[in-house]
Chain A
């Protein structure tokens, strides 16, 4: 049963992440549902920059209780909404 629970929970995390990214990073002209799960967040994707990366760290901490301490690891974690959601889910599972 765990894979189904995981998938369902990831859907919710991804949706919440998209809403938080759009509202907290003031991304204009785009709605949360227009962000694809695998769209790159930085560079040619959503066009986020290094200050946004710090803001995402804060979002994860505030809204999911998840910390990102290793910024080298952060490169992979911050690649897309999918990778962020997986990190949130896995970290929260590890906290249980």
Chain B
């Protein structure tokens, strides 16, 4: 599949340019939030600034939309615009797949809180209608006038990988001419509580993607990344998004390659990490820029696409390297043929997205 366009909404702002600026800028300290229900405990987080989500033009029909949906709609919109295909793509042949690990859980819990606090007769109808996982995909379809298949795919560990596989199937089966595939996850108060209590927040605010500790440090993040994917023969703005592998059997590292490692804060198996490393490739990881996100592979896929398009490498924002990996330490022009985006889940299972340059 070709990556024809990308839309990004994250703590670094909105749009591919904001992501690229963050990559060039390097590590920035996260914000701090109070953990709800705690005795003044604070948690480092990479949250999306409210002003990023206040586009009155794109969100004109989304007054009631929650943060989860707003992030999704804006990233999907931007991916379509970025592709240059907004005017020409047949909307009846355009599909949407929204991947998420946790869905709109802030709204879901808000809805449940409403029942607990006020009884089932006084529950907000808006909270109810937005608490379903498919709300964001519906808003995207409505805002972009998408008439093709629309689906929300929930998977705790590999939501984005599964979504990419499905998009590939839709294109191969000629069900669509293009698919907007994206990932979104939000950082609600429930998530903050869970991260603060169950995980190990990074005391210095730095995620360390190359420290394969049994208790990895995390800084929760949120955001949305969408890709406008077309068939291989439809021209390519960024590069090709090829195989999705669970065991690396379908991918081979050739030429100048970079492997990007997710750091969601759950994977804690040094052996699994070492097995997942691809020989002969530079290693990088940019979670310190956007946070520990279950759908972090989508952010990494966007960064990989930028590397392939620009023929450029970005220095890792946090370079602590206790295992002596061959890290990408310099920013600048470089030949980049392939990028592998690898994610490990808490059981040590892995999933890898394979992106390649179009020559």
Contact = CB atoms under 8 A, between A and B. Distances in A.
A24 B117 CA distance: 16
A91 to B, nearest CB: 15
Interface residues of B, number: 13
Contacts of B123: 58
A61 B122 contact: yes
A54 B117 CA distance: 18
A59 B122 CA distance: 8
B92 interface: no
A26 B56 contact: no
B56 A55 contact: no
Contacts of B125: 51, 54-55, 58
Given A28-B54, A28-B56, A29-B56, A55 B63 contact: no
B121 interface: yes
Interface in A16-45: 24-29
A49 B122 CA distance: 19
A54 B126 CA distance: 9
Nearest to B65: A26
B124 A27 contact: no
Contacts of A55: 124-126
A91 B63 CA distance: 31
A25 B121 CA distance: 18
Nearest to A29: B56
Contacts of B65: 26
Contacts of A24: 124
A75 interface: no
Nearest to B62: A26
A54 B64 CA distance: 13
B195 to A, nearest CB: 26
Contact of B124 (A28, A29, A58): A58
A62 interface: yes
Contacts of B121: 61
Interface in B49-98: 54, 56, 63-65
Contacts of A26: 63-65
A54 B124 CA distance: 8
Contacts of A54: 125
B56 A51 contact: no
A27 B126 contact: no
A51 B125 CA distance: 8
B143 to A, nearest CB: 16
B126 A62 contact: no
7 contacts: A26-B65, A28-B63, A29-B56, A51-B64, A58-B118, A58-B125, A61-B118
Given A25-B64, A26-B63, 19 more contacts: A24-B124, A25-B63, A26-B65, A27-B63, A28-B54, A28-B56, A51-B125, A51-B126, A54-B125, A55-B124, A55-B125, A55-B126, A58-B122, A58-B123, A58-B124, A61-B118, A61-B122, A62-B117, A62-B118
Nearest 5 pairs between A and B by C-beta? A61-B122, A54-B125, A62-B118, A26-B63, A62-B122
